[in-house]
Chain A
């Protein structure tokens, strides 16, 4: 028993280091995908202090809209733009119908309201587009680079690399948007202090709409990537449960935290599943990420990169 936990996994790693690197790389790349979902959470939490449970539902809804439009015969690029517009519409209605009447309520009330949005979007998307599994093929083959594999012996998946590139571009764009543009500065001001931002003339409502739209578009990107990996179906909404430990590990308010948290969780999960999975009895992916995040939290209650919590009476 002890041997299965403490000895065998390391022997396996030592015996085939190349395989270990492969596992690590594929873990890191799925971590990037988790980070993409977590990013949507962070954006909204940063700008409005709302823990948006509906991010998973937004991912599903965006992906369903995209696939549905494409199947209707719409040009995929046009479908992409139309889905993005739909997500902006969702953001607009959420701000108008849900957030505005709830201004000044406790954060926990906002959180529960987003659970309501989750249920609504799940039902709404499937009422319109149906609930069967739809394959999504965006033209990136799910196969390793053969030339590279022959040269180095490492099998690296083309699709994973594509996802990583998309994610990096998105993060770079977001970072630029947050630091260089006027709206980005306004967003950070709102995140710092709602009232102070209002008093210097930053329109809170507009900012909220923008931030939910950006989160929706990030959700669209995540939905397309995850959808072409798993097929577009209800389980996409459950990706949110994978992103939550990433979120608490990285800290709710930090974009780099989401990325690094994603990488830690992604690689840790893969390595644990491959090397320790049998010792535990399999399928430990469900909870492994949560336990890792929990252990981290015991030492740093605000996550790795979260803002230090200062409490006063």
Chain B
């Protein structure tokens, strides 16, 4: 009864093909945006703004990136960390070489550079499929990290290898990076970016390119026969996915950790983002957000759960138990709902359509 689309008639093609054709979905998304823009900034403290929400937005962006490649185009990738590192280092080189460049342009160009690198590492996907491809994307992961670690040009010849991004102004006196940047500015900036890019992803996916990705994923030979060029479909998926991952990586280094170092983008980061899209739901933009939230909240919960129960555990033991719980949860999710939280959300909507009446 609550979620019922009966009576919502479409009178034009435009309204029929709208991003959110059902009114309740529109209200939900608008309500969520209102809360995100008008409520959270004034309620949350600095810890929440900086450690939880900023991290969440960045992870969600990376998860959307990987979801485009793995969920929509069906190319399993384990190199997300490498692409994020690529974005972070290109943004760093741009920001230090052109100090006057605006942050949005820096991020955009860093994303484009990462997209190029992603296309380069995507070339093998034209020949190799499935697990062979997954393993070969590890080449991107290990090679890119090695490159940024070893070649001093990328770190501007700093001796320690740990470098911080320069302070950059967003507008007027509002700094987006560096010591003068406030959490609130960073929050609004990332929120806006994530909203815009998520909408962008939704739009790409329902259009021509997105449909060719999905055809490629479902059966590549059949897709080729109906006239989809695998070269264009696969490479564009790698490019768009890497663009998103690159921007996420740049944000991670510039806003969240405030240091640019290869260590932050290790293989574990790639797996973490892979888990997000598995748990959230493969082939779903909303699922990327769900997954990112779940993976972020879980460790916090696990860290505080023993204390709530009155148990005292050593730090390393908690880490190991965290590993175990992660493993169990992933297997559990795959068995119970291989399509992730996004599917559960869909089921909940189905239920709400009838509730509270049985028929």
Which residues of A are in contact with B by a Cβ distance under 8 Å? 51, 97-98, 101-102, 105, 107-109, 111-113, 115-124, 126-127, 131, 241, 244-245, 247-248, 252, 280-284, 286-287, 290-291, 293-294, 297-298, 301-303, 309, 311-313
Most buried by A among B143, B151, B275: B143
Contacts of B149 in A (CB 8 A): 283
B132 CB within 8 Å of chain A: yes
Question: By the criterion CB–CB under 8 Å, are A293 and B338 in contact?
Answer: no
Question: By the criterion CB–CB under 8 Å, are B143 and A291 in contact?
Answer: yes
Q: Which residue on chain A has the smallest CB distance to residue B223?
A: A313
Q: Mark B49-77, 1 if CB is under 8 A from A, else 0.
A: 00000000000000000000000000010
Question: By the criterion CB–CB under 8 Å, are A123 and B150 in contact?
Answer: no
Number of A-B contacts (CB under 8 A): 139
Given A290-B142, A291-B139, A313-B221 contact (CB < 8 Å): yes
Question: By the criterion CB–CB under 8 Å, are B334 and A123 in contact?
Answer: no
Contacts of A247 in B (CB 8 A): 135
Cβ contact of B127, chosen from A120, A131, A297, cutoff 8 A:
A297
| B133 CB to nearest chain A CB (Å) | 9
B204 CB within 8 Å of chain A: no
Name 11 extra pairs, CB < 8 A, besides A123-B319, A297-B136, A298-B127.
A51-B131, A111-B134, A115-B274, A116-B334, A119-B323, A119-B326, A127-B324, A280-B150, A290-B135, A297-B127, A313-B222
Sample 17 A-B pairs with CB under 8 A, ordered by A number: A51-B134, A112-B274, A113-B331, A113-B335, A120-B331, A121-B327, A122-B323, A124-B320, A244-B135, A244-B138, A248-B132, A282-B150, A286-B146, A290-B139, A290-B143, A291-B143, A297-B132
Given A102-B334, A294-B136, A119-B143 contact (CB < 8 Å): no
B159 CB within 8 Å of chain A: no
Interface of B is mostly: helix
Contacts of A123 in B (CB 8 A): 319-327
Question: By the criterion CB–CB under 8 Å, are A293 and B135 in contact?
Answer: yes
Q: How far is the CA of A291 from the CA of B144 in the complex (A)?
A: 12
Question: By the criterion CB–CB under 8 Å, are B330 and A281 in contact?
Answer: no
Cβ contact of B334, chosen from A109, A131, A303, cutoff 8 A:
A109
Q: How far is the CA of A247 from the CA of B130 in the complex (A)?
A: 14
Contacts of B128 in A (CB 8 A): 297-298, 301
B44 CB within 8 Å of chain A: no
Most buried by A among B129, B143, B278, B331: B331
Q: Which residue on chain B has the smallest CB distance to residue A130?
A: B316
Tier of interface size on chain B: 35 or more
Contacts of A313 in B (CB 8 A): 219, 221-222, 225
Most buried by B among A119, A280, A286: A119
Question: By the criterion CB–CB under 8 Å, are B327 and A117 in contact?
Answer: yes
Given A101-B335, A119-B323, A120-B328, A301-B129 contact (CB < 8 Å): yes
Q: How far is the CA of A247 from the CA of B138 in the complex (A)?
A: 13
Cβ contact of A109, chosen from B271, B317, B338, cutoff 8 A:
B338
Question: By the criterion CB–CB under 8 Å, are A111 and B131 in contact?
Answer: yes
Interface residues in B285-310 by Cβ distance below 8 A to A read none
Which residues of B are in contact with A by a Cβ distance under 8 Å? 76, 124, 127-132, 134-136, 138-139, 142-143, 145-146, 149-151, 219, 221-222, 225, 267, 271, 274-275, 278, 316-317, 319-331, 334-335, 338
Given A131-B316, A290-B142, A297-B136, A311-B324 contact (CB < 8 Å): no
Question: By the criterion CB–CB under 8 Å, are A117 and B331 in contact?
Answer: yes
Contacts of A127 in B (CB 8 A): 317, 320-321, 324
Question: By the criterion CB–CB under 8 Å, are B146 and A287 in contact?
Answer: yes
Question: By the criterion CB–CB under 8 Å, are B331 and A301 in contact?
Answer: no
Question: By the criterion CB–CB under 8 Å, are B138 and A290 in contact?
Answer: yes
Q: How far is the CA of A291 from the CA of B124 in the complex (A)?
A: 11
Most buried by B among A247, A284, A297: A297
Question: By the criterion CB–CB under 8 Å, are B330 and A119 in contact?
Answer: yes
Given A241-B138, A248-B136, A283-B334 contact (CB < 8 Å): no
| A47 CB to nearest chain B CB (Å) | 15
Closest 9 CB pairs of A and B: A123-B323, A120-B327, A119-B327, A116-B330, A290-B139, A123-B324, A287-B142, A116-B331, A287-B143
Question: By the criterion CB–CB under 8 Å, are A120 and B323 in contact?
Answer: yes
Question: By the criterion CB–CB under 8 Å, are A303 and B330 in contact?
Answer: no
Question: By the criterion CB–CB under 8 Å, are B139 and A294 in contact?
Answer: yes
Q: Which residue on chain A has the smallest CB distance to residue B136?
A: A294
Q: How far is the CA of A109 from the CA of B322 in the complex (A)?
A: 22
Q: How far is the CA of A118 from the CA of B78 in the complex (A)?
A: 15
Question: By the criterion CB–CB under 8 Å, are A298 and B146 in contact?
Answer: no
Q: Which residue on chain A has the smallest CB distance to residue B322?
A: A123
Question: By the criterion CB–CB under 8 Å, are A112 and B136 in contact?
Answer: no
Q: Which residue on chain B has the smallest CB distance to residue A122?
A: B323
Cβ contact of B136, chosen from A101, A293, A311, cutoff 8 A:
A293
Contacts of A302 in B (CB 8 A): 132
Q: How far is the CA of A290 from the CA of B136 in the complex (A)?
A: 7
Q: Which residue on chain A has the smallest CB distance to residue B331?
A: A116
Question: By the criterion CB–CB under 8 Å, are B326 and A281 in contact?
Answer: no
Given A115-B330, A303-B132, A313-B222, A286-B142 contact (CB < 8 Å): yes
Cβ contact of B327, chosen from A116, A282, A290, cutoff 8 A:
A116
Contacts of A115 in B (CB 8 A): 271, 274-275, 330
Q: How far is the CA of A291 from the CA of B317 in the complex (A)?
A: 37
| A281 CB to nearest chain B CB (Å) | 5
Q: How far is the CA of A294 from the CA of B133 in the complex (A)?
A: 9
Q: Which residue on chain A has the smallest CB distance to residue B339?
A: A109
Most buried by A among B131, B322, B329: B131
Q: How far is the CA of A286 from the CA of B325 in the complex (A)?
A: 30
Cβ contact of A252, chosen from B124, B131, B278, B317, cutoff 8 A:
B131
